[in-house]
Amino acid sequence: MRSLFLLTFTAFGQSVAKTIAFDVASVKPSQRVLGPDDNNLFAFEPAGISARNVTLRRVVAEAYRLQLNQVLGPAWLDQSEYDIDAKASGEADKERLALMLRTLLAERFRLTQHRETKELRVYELVTDQGGPKVQAIKTGLHFHGDLRQFADFLAIQLAISVSDDPGRPGRASGPPVPVLDKTGLPGIYDFGVDIRPEPGSDMFTLWQRVLKDQMGLSLESRRGEVDVLVVGGAEKVPTAN
């Protein structure tokens, strides 16, 4: 009876694993590397994902719903770029597509990983005292982003120093501080913000003003335990399609 139970459970597990895989998927190295200023074009679609010039760190972050700086591993995770087109057998929500993406990473990149917690200084994106001023998009054909992805964008923005020369763009001054979405606001948003660099100011001050005045959000600084995912191993060249 025990053997029969184990066989039944194993078969059930294999069936579940099969249902969380994409129906078809193309994964290949990008023909031309664009670099950090242009890469990481990643979009969840109603029945799959589409990505161009994405780094493996970006793909892992999307699969495990983490920020880029919560994914730790070898330096090449930010250097090699890939084009991915994957389709499910039918429409699926973002959480289910993320599970399919995890399967894809294990099968095509032989990805191994484990979770840890690490004490870091972080910013928490929260709703301001007056409440949020942004509204989730109810309809629309193109992808904009959820607040977790906006927090990821903010982390990169806050690492950029404000240039004293208005004609010269600022550059990242160091590794970004994680920004964690603590708003509790679901949905996809369309952000149109007016932010203008001011000599002598800093990006945190500028963004804090924009978030409060235009979006009804704010950033809070703290230190604490942050979940991170450590990539133990992965193949640079994915297995054939």
Give the chain's count of helices (H) and strands (E): 5, 8
Q: Dihedral sign, CA of 63, 38, 146, 85?
A: negative
Q: Which pLDDT tens digit goes with each residue over 60-100?
A: 999 998 888 889 999 899 889 999 999 999 888 888 999 99
- Residue-wise DSSP of 189-232: B---------TT--HHHHHHHHIIIIISEEEEEEEEEEEEEEEE
Task: Determine the Cα–Cα distance for residues 238 and 104; give it in Å rounded to an integer.
Answer: 10
Q: Say how far residue 223 (Cα) sits from the centre of its chain.
A: 21
Give 167-209 pLDDT, tens digit per residue: 544 455 566 788 888 999 888 887 677 777 777 778 889 899 9
Tokens standing for residue 67: 């920020």
Can you give the pLDDT at residue 12?
Answer: 40
- For the beta sheet containing 41-45, the strands, ordered from the edge strand earlier in sequence to the opposite edge, are 24-29, 81-87, 48-55, 41-45
At residue 103 the predicted structure's pLDDT band, cuts being 50, 70 and 90, is very high
Stronger pLDDT, 212 or 133, i.e. the higher one: 212
Pairwise CA distance, residues 102 & 110, whole Å: 11
**Assigned token pair, 207:** 């963004």
Tell me the domain boundaries of the chain: 2-233
Please tell me whether the overall predicted TM-score, pTM, comes out greater than 0.75 for this model: no
